[in-house]
């Protein structure tokens, strides 16, 4: 894929991620908290735990670390899974015809489609993850541009190495939490997330 097309697709992916993964779920969470919709609120809080891997990916990308490509793919997979995994929440959300539940369902489908398309796009560049930083092609480096732009906007003057270190530490903590969930919580509770 040539550099100009890749750059357009990468920036489109980041803009869609911001819309579908940050703005809309924040609005839905606010709505769920104000309307006291426990099922949607609980589902979105679980979503935010999983979606934090996207923020970790951005911080790793600021440091131009090739693991960025793997965490980006993993984030899209885990986000899509987290929205549909919880059997009890799915039943509670699907049983109600409240406006919030219907909007939430629409958003959930839209995010799932976005995650599939974004994941497929990122898979096309997965070979970049197995290349040393000094040998990355110009096309691979394009993926770091939005993260670096965000860093220049928000963290002006902070060394990229420091931000990358924060991303790595957060990534290690995320992996430990994920393994803890898979080893202890999942066998104990299964697909039940919501209890009164």
* Cβ–Cβ under 8 Å, residues 32 and 40: yes
Distance CA(29)–CA(43), nearest Å, equals 9
In a domain? residue 36: yes
Structural domain total, the chain: 1
Rg (CA), the chain: 18
In a domain? residue 166: yes
In a domain? residue 55: yes
Question: Among candidates 138, 135, 163, which has minimal Cα distance to 149?
Answer: 163
Q: How many CB atoms lie within 10 A of CB 21?
A: 22
Q: What are phi and psi of 191, to 5 degrees?
A: -95, 25
Sign of torsion, CA 190 44 16 59?
A: negative
Here the tokens at position 30 are 């606010």
Q: How many CA atoms lie within 13 A of 147 on its CB side?
A: 23
Give the global pTM: 0.89
In a domain? residue 26: yes
Q: How confident is the model at residue 185 (pLDDT cuts 50, 70, 90)?
A: confident
User: What 3 state SS string does 61-106 have?
Assistant: HHCCCCHHHHHHHHHHHHHHHHHHCCHHHHHHHHHCCCHHHHHHHH
pLDDT (mean) for 93-112: 92
In a domain? residue 196: no
Residue 149 pLDDT > 80: yes
* pLDDT per residue as tens digits for the range 22-49: 999 999 999 999 999 999 999 999 999 9
pLDDT > 90 fraction of the chain, expressed in percent and rounded: 79
In a domain? residue 195: no
In a domain? residue 194: no
Question: Among candidates 59, 80, 11, which has minimal Cα distance to 162?
Answer: 59
In a domain? residue 127: yes
Q: How confident is the model at residue 196 (pLDDT cuts 50, 70, 90)?
A: very low
Task: State the residue range of the domain holding 45.
Answer: 3-189
pLDDT (mean) for 56-81: 94
């Amino acid at each position: 894929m040539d550099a100009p097309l890749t750059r357009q697709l990468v920036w489109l992916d980041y803009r869609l991620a911001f819309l579908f993964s940050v703005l809309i779920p924040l609005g839905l969470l606010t709505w769920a908290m104000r309307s006291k919709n426990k099922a949607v609120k609980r589902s979105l809080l679980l979503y935010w735990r999983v979606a934090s891997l996207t923020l970790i990916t951005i911080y790793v990308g600021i440091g131009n670390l090739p693991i960025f490509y793997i965490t980006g793919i993993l984030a899209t997979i885990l986000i899509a899974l987290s929205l549909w995994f919880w059997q009890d929440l799915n039943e509670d959300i699907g049983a109600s015809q409240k406006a919030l539940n219907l909007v939430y369902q629409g958003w959930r489908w839209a995010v799932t489609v976005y995650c599939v398309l974004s994941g497929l796009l990122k898979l096309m560049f997965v070979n970049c993850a197995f290349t040393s930083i000094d040998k990355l092609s110009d096309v691979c480096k394009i993926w770091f541009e939005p993260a670096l732009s965000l860093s220049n906007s928000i963290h002006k003057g902070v060394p990229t190495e420091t931000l990358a270190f924060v991303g790595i530490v957060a990534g290690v903590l995320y992996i430990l939490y994920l393994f803890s969930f898979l080893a202890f919580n999942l066998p104990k509770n299964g697909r039940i997330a919501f209890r009164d």
